[in-house]
Amino acid sequence: MSGLREKLDRKQFVVTVEVEPPKGASPWGVYEKMRPLTRLVDAVNIADSPMAKMRMSPIALAYLVQKELGLETIFHLTCRDRNILGLQSELLGAYALGVKNILTLTGDKPGQGDHPQATGVYDVDSTGLIKTANFLNKGRDYSGNALDTSTDFFIGAVANPTASDLEREIERIQVKIEAGAGFFQTQPIFDIRQLERFLNKFPNPPVPIIYGLMPLKSLKLAKYLNANVPGVHVPENLLNRLESKGREGGLEIARELLREMRQMVHGVHIFPMGDIDLVRTLLIGE
């Protein structure tokens, strides 16, 4: 059976979904949320203590999801919580467990999370983490020492196709590709014109890009995103639809975007904001 990397190589349209690990020691609640997605999505992203709020290890959960549900995973790894020794140890352990897709992130600062007293490490940033994983793929550690066994990670990175300065954003993407990134997942897109603008500027990316899609559950959520999430903008016309139709309006918007994106790109990454049922409704009712 083909995996995510092979599907992207063939330019097959893929769907990935982001899931937060539990704030506790049991994975069973997350299994039940993800179980309906096993025939609907190509991979599930497992976040790494997002917004600096403590959660179960994404590597442990990714392994369990693959083992128990047979669902391919992409584990997030942030530079915030581990020094360069710890990052490499985590990567080698993940690979030994068969968890081979990684999304590299610098990580939200601890001060904004539920452990503000925690220390942010940041020995490297996300580009440095890409280089580190790529060193391991080539059989060397960060200091250049030989490994007993090399890895073969499919290394992912983050991009923002809605950035105001697209030339600078494309430069960042190219730097990450040179560092070893093999695919990208992006911030959510709410206006198809923004996607068109990005594709016109960067029509033939050398690696696959999976574009973000966030079903909006409410007007309140949309306003929160506009006010608090850099690089994310929900247009006024969508705010009006959410005000009049609420959750159903958000689902309509997501379906419209998904239909258009299927004609333009080779994959979407869905941000469910904790509402897996909404994702299932979106994909089944498409």
236-246: pLDDT as tens digits: 999 999 999 99
Task: Give the pLDDT band (50/70/90) at residue 2.
Answer: confident
Arithmetic mean of pLDDT over the chain: 94
pLDDT for residue 285: 65
**Domain-located, residue 74:** yes
Number of structural domains found in the chain: 1
Secondary structure of the chain in the HEC alphabet? CCCHHHHHHCCCCEEEEEECCCCCCCCHHHHHHHHHHCCCCCEEEECCCHHHCCCCCHHHHHHHHHHHHCCCEEEEEECCCCCHHHHHHHHHHHHHCCCCEEEEECCCCHHHCCCCCCCCCCCCCHHHHHHHHHHHHCCECCCCCECCCCCCCEEEEEECCCCCCHHHHHHHHHHHHHHCCCEEEEEECCCHHHHHHHHHHCCCCCCCEEEEECCCCCHHHHHHHHHHCCCCCCCHHHHHHHHHHHHHHHHHHHHHHHHHHHCCCCEEEECCCCCHHHHHHHHHCC
Note the pLDDT of residue 94: 98
| pLDDT tens digit sequence for 245-256 | 998 999 999 999
- Residue 203 maps to a domain: yes
Which domain range does residue 50 map to?
4-217+266-284
Q: CATH number for the domain including 100? A: 3.20.20.220
232 or 63: which leads in pLDDT? 63
Domain assignment of residue 226, yes or no: no
pLDDT value at residue 1: 60
Q: What is the pLDDT of residue 228?
A: 82
What is the pTM (predicted TM-score) of this model? 0.95
For residue 183, being part of any structural domain is answered with yes
Per-residue pLDDT, averaged over 202-229, amounts to 93
Mean pLDDT of the 186-196 span: 94
- Asked whether residue 253 is assigned to any structural domain, the reply reads no
Please tell me the predicted confidence (pLDDT) of residue 254: 95
Q: Is 96 part of any domain?
A: yes
pLDDT band at 151 (very low <50, low <70, confident <90, very high): very high
Domain assignment present for 238: no
Residue 154 lies in a domain: yes
- Taking only the tens place, the pLDDT of each residue in 113-132 is 999 999 999 999 999 999 99
Region 220-243: mean pLDDT is: 89
- What pLDDT, on the 0 to 100 scale, is given for residue 268? 98
